[in-house]
Amino acid sequence: MTTKTATISQLGPSKSDVRRLVNVMTIIAWGVLAIGVLLCLINLSHFSDKNIGLMVGIGFLIGSVHIYVIGTAIGLVHARMSGNKSNNQQS
């Protein structure tokens, strides 16, 4: 019985995997944003910090921005890493 060994450098994420992750995170961010807007509109009648539904809605709005920024940053970092690797291989 033999086993195959692989080094860590061979197991890096491919470009399509990262693109799929960025797309999924963008879709999730838009969904969370929609939920936040809906919660804010439903609970807007009593505008107070004691209105839990409104505060949760605002939290969803802020969270959606964070999710989108993190997804975009992952895509940009991976693109820069791929660009640096190709530049190093050409040199």
Asked if 57 and 37 touch (Cβ cutoff 8 Å), the reply is yes
- For the chain, which residues make up each domain, given as ranges? 33-78
9, two tokens: 């450098």
Asked if 32 and 67 touch (Cβ cutoff 8 Å), the reply is yes
Tell me, what's the pLDDT at 41? 95
Asked if 67 and 35 touch (Cβ cutoff 8 Å), the reply is no
50, two tokens: 């004691």
The pLDDT tens digits for 10-59 are: 555 677 788 999 999 999 999 999 999 999 999 999 889 999 999 999 99
The pLDDT tens digits for 68-90 are: 999 999 999 988 887 777 666 66
Closest CA to 44 of 58, 34, 29: 58
